[in-house]
Structure 1
């Protein structure tokens, strides 16, 4: 999931909407999405979130109001997102961003289900 395939869609535009805490991405295959900062934070590709192997993922909680404070390009294959809670170790490759966008609904429901399973309710402002 973290590699870059030669035929992968590439972002043509990335816009941060800090007020609504959304990252808007347009891909070169005409796919367009808006991903919440919370969603991007809880699905960070960093080892801190994903662990170092299957079953080692760390459930992220209390990220409802997190925002992106900086977007740093990494070569021509990824961006590093810096979040308002200090997290900045995940490199979001184009493939990974496209995967998140393509599977947003299922991944979001999975996250909410994991929160529910441990009795945590999201707190929105």
Structure 2
């Protein structure tokens, strides 16, 4: 685990980007733009207790968090998705929002700091 990255593993996105810095940064920017609306949709679905919306939002967001190496957040989203697919409406989780913010912060940091160097993973 890196001193800079506790909730993400930039090397995962680096590999998905074909070890190309421009592609890495473009994908990171796409995450930063598209993940927050999905997170907001998930939070709203959790507040309303609608399993179908919880399942759809958690699935979509999980696809993005896996790409940035956010294992803990991805696992949390997977659990929410499973519960929702079983027809359950999980209660809002106090860990979700702070962990999402941490992932967002780390992805933003990786855009300016990460260059694929082994010691920064």
Report the TM range for the smaller structure's normalisation: under 0.3
The structure whose residues are more often helix, as a share, is: 2
The structure whose RCO (Cα within 8 Å, separation 6+) is larger is 2
The structure whose residues are more often strand, as a share, is: 1
Per the normalisation by structure 2, the TM-score is: 0.27
Per the normalisation by structure 1, the TM-score is: 0.26
